[in-house]
Amino acid sequence: MLKQYIFIFSLILTLVAFGITTRRFIGFFKLTRPAFPVRNIGRRFAVMLEVAFGQTKIFRKPVMGFLHALVFWGFCVILLGSLEMVIDGISGTERVLSFLGLVYNIIMASGDVFALIIAIAIIVFLGRRLFLNVKRFSGIEMKHISHIDANIALTMILLLMLSLLDMNIFYIKSALQAGHEVQGVYPVSQVVASWLSTGESQNILFHEISWWTHIILIFLFANYLPYSKHFHVFMSVPNVFLTRLQPLGKLDTMENVTKEVKIMMDPDQAFAASPEGEDEEVPERFGILDVEDVSWKNYMDSLACTECGRCTAVCPANITGKKLSPRKIVMDVRARMKEKGPGMVKNGRDYSDEKSLIRDYVSEEELWACTLCNACAQECPININHPAMIIGMRRYLVMEESAAPGELNSIFSNIENNGAPWQFSQEDRMLWAEDIMMNETVK
């Protein structure tokens, strides 16, 4: 009975802490701008099954991709076993889902095998981070705390898997020694249990220790993740489901600007576009200056980012030595919201701390280095759209500050004056072809 009370208290404490964190993030999302309507649910589920659950993009790096996929699939299976532990902890039962029979045996066997696989994969990941100089794990945006965070998260996962195996091992031994039937099938733990020669009291004690260690680690891990790079454990699947479904190269237009262009080309539309008595909605700001200007999808992308560096590794600007790192852009959005968000929640969206996302976090040089090739978005294993953020910040620089590079400003002036990017009026545009046409006539 005491065990139940302690468990229920721990569970409530975990849920309250997680609820406070969730409320904080919801407050931040409310500060962002609309993105796109969530439609085509069937297609979104297909993308989610392919990219998130199928882990198709991660296989572009076959060895590490396969290990990462095994970790993900293993977590999905082990999650079912964790659900049983929660039910057992609340009700005071043991192996409450064993009535499922064959299904239960498959779930337990899969979880037992995956626990070993995940433990091995995590050791490989830790070894690679600690002893190998993987280029994409470094960069100006990857502070020392980022590496510590990754190591802490990986260590917690390793401990989760070891405690799960210990729990299964000593459950098998205690059940057999007590003459009870073992509920479930445990291929790995069964072998290890046969190697041990522990007494009945020791088995019960070690089972309780490993059970509590595992469940407390789950509770701690759940509340650590939102403040870690491994928040993608929660965010990656919904982020893929909410993927922008248009082709990567398609740029979203600004409706109010499109309307102005149409009116400029056809003045009669000015009367049709704005019925009498209706005021035109004036946007607060063109483009993105700070985090209150990003869309909810931009912010969601930043929370889901795994910091894996695959985007930066394929960025042609970064490869050729320019300052741009797509990963840094995404991480900067997340860091800026963490810095300014609490002030805006408390004082409203007009709150200012005399800083901004542009220049204080992201330099103009980084923004203009992007070629919009979309290699970063194509490579991202959870479908983050880096160019959308870059385009938004460029729009602010151009439309609010006229701060585009000189070459672009010349093009803009030519388009405004000549209707084309060249320094020729429409009347003079074909002068270059006169000699060619004359020669053809003579022939």
First to last CA, the chain: 105
Q: Which helix (H) or strand (E) element contains residue 152?
A: helix 144-177
Higher confidence at residue 416 or residue 442? 416
Is 1.20.950 the CATH number for 2-30+61-241?
yes
- In this prediction, residues 332-352 reach a mean pLDDT of 95
Q: Which helix (H) or strand (E) element contains residue 319?
A: helix 316-319
pLDDT tens column, 194-207? 898 888 899 999 99
Give percent helix, percent strand, percent coil of the chain, each to the nearest 5: 70, 0, 30
**To which residue do tokens 């000593």 refer?**
170
Give pLDDT, residue 278. 52
Q: Of 176, 154, 163, 251, which Cα lies nearest the Cα of 207?
A: 163
Give pLDDT, residue 431. 78
Give pLDDT, residue 438. 74
Cα distance between residue 422 and residue 253, in whole Å: 23
Question: Sorting pLDDT into bands at 50, 70 and 90, what band is 315?
Answer: very high
DSSP code, position 94: S
Angle at 194 (CA atoms; ends 191, 198), nearest 5 degrees:
135
Question: Sorting pLDDT into bands at 50, 70 and 90, what band is 419?
Answer: confident
Q: Of 307, 303, 296, 237, which Cα lies nearest the Cα of 51?
A: 237
Cα distance between residue 190 and residue 125, in whole Å: 27
The number of beta carbons lying within 10 Å of the beta carbon of residue 267 is: 9
| 199 SS3 class | coil
pLDDT beyond 80 at 435: no
pLDDT tens column, 130-162? 998 888 898 899 999 999 999 999 999 999 999
Question: Sorting pLDDT into bands at 50, 70 and 90, what band is 367?
Answer: very high
- In this prediction, residues 85-93 reach a mean pLDDT of 92
* CB-count burial class (<10 Å; 0-12, 13-18, 19+) for 383: buried
Give pLDDT, residue 113. 97
Higher confidence at residue 128 or residue 255? 128
Question: Sorting pLDDT into bands at 50, 70 and 90, what band is 270?
Answer: low
Cα distance between residue 352 and residue 355, in whole Å: 7
pLDDT beyond 60 at 49: yes
- Rounded to the nearest integer, the mean pLDDT of the chain is 90
* Sign of the Cα pseudo-torsion (403, 404, 406, 408, in order): negative
- Beta carbons of 368 and 317 less than 8 angstroms apart: no
Where do the domains of the chain lie? 2-30+61-241, 255-427
CATH class entry, domain 255-427? mainly alpha
Angle at 153 (CA atoms; ends 152, 154), nearest 5 degrees:
95
Question: Sorting pLDDT into bands at 50, 70 and 90, what band is 437?
Answer: confident
Give pLDDT, residue 433. 79
Cα distance between residue 179 and residue 190, in whole Å: 16
Question: Sorting pLDDT into bands at 50, 70 and 90, what band is 225?
Answer: very high
Beta bridge partners of 33: 295
**Rounded (10°) angle between helices 62-91 and 2-29:** 130
10-19 burial string, b = 16+ CB within 10 Å, else e? eeeebeeeee
pTM for this entry:
0.88
The number of beta carbons lying within 10 Å of the beta carbon of residue 231 is: 20
DSSP code, position 430: T
**Structure tokens of 443?**
């022939």
